[in-house]
Structure 1
Amino acid sequence: MTRETLVAGEALIDFIPDRHGALAAVESFSRQAGGAPANVAVGLARLGRTPWFCTTLATDAFGDHLASVLDREGIPDRFVSREPDAQTALAFVSHSRDADREFTFYRQGTADRRFDASGVPDDVLESVDVVVVGGVTLTVEPARSATFDLVERARAAGCRVLFDPNVRPELWEVDPAPTMRRMLSMTDVLKGSREDLGGDTLPTEPDELLDAGPDAVFLTEGDAGARLIAAEGSPWGRGEWHHGGYRVDDVADTTGAGDAFTAGVVAGLVDGTAPEELLGFANAVAAASTRFEGAMTALPDREAVERVRDGR
């Protein structure tokens, strides 16, 4: 069996609040499967581009729930390993009145810290077009070394590496800057917002980001849509493209919008989509995901994406 994409990284549990406001004021939460790479993997499956997914799950009840969700979404478990001496990472989400969100993580002794990609053989990587990694597994060892090993082998196999950084200071046990600069030097496609890039941790200007390693940078700009800035070595040659996004009047939750956008970008890369169409599609995937609460639960299928593009 061959697949065009391998997504690698954490799966965790999001606790979604029953009301807007500060975390201290929330009395009830709903349990939802989450983690940016897991969301991207499921997002691709719902768009008809089911990837390989490499992750490490605990064997606790939450880990069993994550395994069940991934199975229900059609994600193959070939590279899903289980860690018996770990717990599942938890993220408590708080929402502001405008549906923006913040996260509080509980991540000591958790399976994502022990992420292991050694089970992905080189012959599988040789059959994959795009490898997608995030920033959370770079925050601690041994997950950091496992992530870099996978990326190095992927590049040697001719894969394009898409990196979606997540520079949250509270997750890092070391200065993130050297690790992130190293990752950028091994990245072909970078996707992020200025917030994702971590302020002073990494360059935020497109030309500086391209100089650091990638040949293509997707910058999401909230309500203003997204931009693609590409260098000469990209699949589209040198250029810059912008799409203004789609207006959604019934926004329920923006938690998974960034991951939905990433799934749209990856699907477009695999399909060889032209820049303007790719940006429009990825923006529509993100917009469609904001109509429902949660991250993974809100990820749309292609029919829902087309409704957004048609103004419905």
Structure 2
Amino acid sequence: MADLTRLRGQRFLIIGRAGMDFYADPPGTRLEEATRFTTALGGSSANIAAGLTRLGCKAALVTRVSDDAVGRFCLNQLDHYGIDRQFVRPVGGEARNSLAVVETRLENTQSVIYRNNAADFAMCAEDVQGIPYDEFSALVTTGTVLAAEPSRSATFDAFARARDAGLPLIFDVDYRPYSWASAEEASEVYSKAAALCDVIIGNDVEFGFMAGQGKDGLEKARDLVREGAGIVVYKMGELGAITITKEGETRTGIFPTEALKPTGAGDSFMAGFLAALAQDRPLAKAVTRGSAAAAMVVARVGCAPAMPTQDELDQFIAGAQMQTPT
């Protein structure tokens, strides 16, 4: 296992997509009835990067974007959030950036995801070579980047290079079935990636999926720690989370909130959690801050623009109380 104290350098290298989100406006509007939309930066990796920069860390993104107006929108948004994009390259031809058309509604939320000829899947070995890995504090990725070639092989190449440089590897499972050729392939690839990583975060469905049909997802999470991972966070939605290390397991709850939508919780949890570890806060506090960030983001419009600042997160935690389900 890599030395997790390296996270204190607060400079994260993040692999994965940046996209464009369209939100039906005003909040509560159904997509089929919408006549007005707002735009925002999207894509799980870009959202995590935005969350980290808003919490005072530095983040650089490694991906491909389409060589068109939507790709340039994403580049402009990365600049807006202060995300280093020197490792983001445009790709031409038929490649297109990820586009999500979504509702800001809590019940029966509809989203339409366009991932045809996704530009981020065109990331190749060339994109991960020559990166000064030793200048970063950790390598972070989400599962979607592994769903197709050449980005899958490029990511595993980056894992090896980061490991040679002593970087902790951090993996958000982030299973999106529409991106994969089959569930069986996804389970195999995710298990391979998780076995290489030092910190793995996912929900109960995702760990159950990795474990295989009829098997226990929580036991899969425990196995990952037994096999070498330093931290595994097993999220259970409204039931809170179980944090697993070699020292034992800790159960935590959630922060009650008046949610506007169900989306953005995972990305904001990751950002709040990693930023807290980077600030040398105890693991339990890091989970608490990740949970608080998630509660804040689901109560706001958008994902990247909803990410809290350090002061906002501190104020929220000071005025709220975590509830542990019985």
TM-score (normalised: structure 1):
0.88
Greater mean alpha carbon deviation, residues 301-310 or residues 15-24: 15-24
Is 1:9 paired with 2:22? no
Where does residue 151 of structure 1 map in the other structure? Answer: 159
Of residues 84, 87, 111 in structure 1, which corresponds to 2:92?
A: 84
The one-letter code of the counterpart of 2:147 is: T
Computed over aligned residues only, the root mean square deviation of the Cα atoms, in angstroms, reads: 2.4
Task: Give the AA of the match of 2:24.
Answer: P
The 2-side partners of 1:48 and 1:56 are apart by 25
2:140 corresponds to: 132
The TM-score with structure 2 as length reference comes to: 0.84
Aligned length in residues: 303
SS in 1 for 2:126: coil
Give distance in 2, aligned partners of 1:27 and 1:144: 38
One-letter amino acid matched to 1:227: I
- Given candidates 256, 263, 270, the residue that maps to 1:262 is 270
Higher helix fraction (1 or 2): 2
**1:22 offset after TM fit, Å?**
6.5
For 1:103 and 1:197, the matched residues in 2 are separated by 24
CA spacing shift, 1:117–1:25, aligned 2, 3 Å: farther
Q: Find the partner of 1:57 among 45, 58, 65.
A: 65
Q: How many Å apart are 1:16 and its aligned residue?
A: 1.9
Q: Does 1:247 align with 2:274?
A: no
Structure 1 residue 229: Cα displacement: 0.6
Q: After alignment, is 159-168 or 210-219 more displaced?
A: 210-219
Instruction: Map residues 66-215 of structure 1 onto 2, 5 A cutoff.
Output: 66-85=74-93, 86-94=95-103, 97-98=106-107, 101=109, 103-116=111-124, 118-121=126-129, 124-174=132-182, 175-197=185-207, 199=209, 204-205=217-218, 206-211=221-226, 214-215=229-230
**Residues 90-141 of structure 1, C-alpha deviation per residue, up to 9 Å, x if partnerless?**
122246544x745432112221111246344567212222110011111111
Q: 1:224 to 1:93 in 2, by over 3 A?
A: same
Change (3 A) 1:299 1:196: farther
User: Any idea what the Cα deviations from partners look like across 1:175-216, whole Å, max 9, x if unmatched?
Assistant: 212211111111110011123446366561132343465231
Aligned to 2:4: none
Q: CA deviation at 1:225?
A: 3.0
Q: Does structure 2 conserve the Cα–Cα contact (< 8 Å) formed by 1:88 and 1:110?
A: yes
Give the alignment of 1:226-237 within 5 angstroms: 226-231=241-246
1:226–1:243 CA contact under 8 A, matched in 2: yes
Q: What residue ranges of structure 1 are gaps of 5+ in the alignment?
A: 232-237
Structure 2: segments with no counterpart, 5+ residues? 1-8, 321-326
1:126 alignment partner, SS class: helix
Q: C-alpha separation between the residues in 1 aligned to 2:130 and 2:73?
A: 30
3-state SS in 2 of match to 1:241: strand
Contact 1:5 1:52 in 2 (8 A): yes
- The Cα offsets for residues 12-64 of structure 1, whole Å up to 9 and x where unpaired, read as 12222335487555554332210000000010000000212212111111111
The answer on 1:277 being equivalent to 2:285 is yes
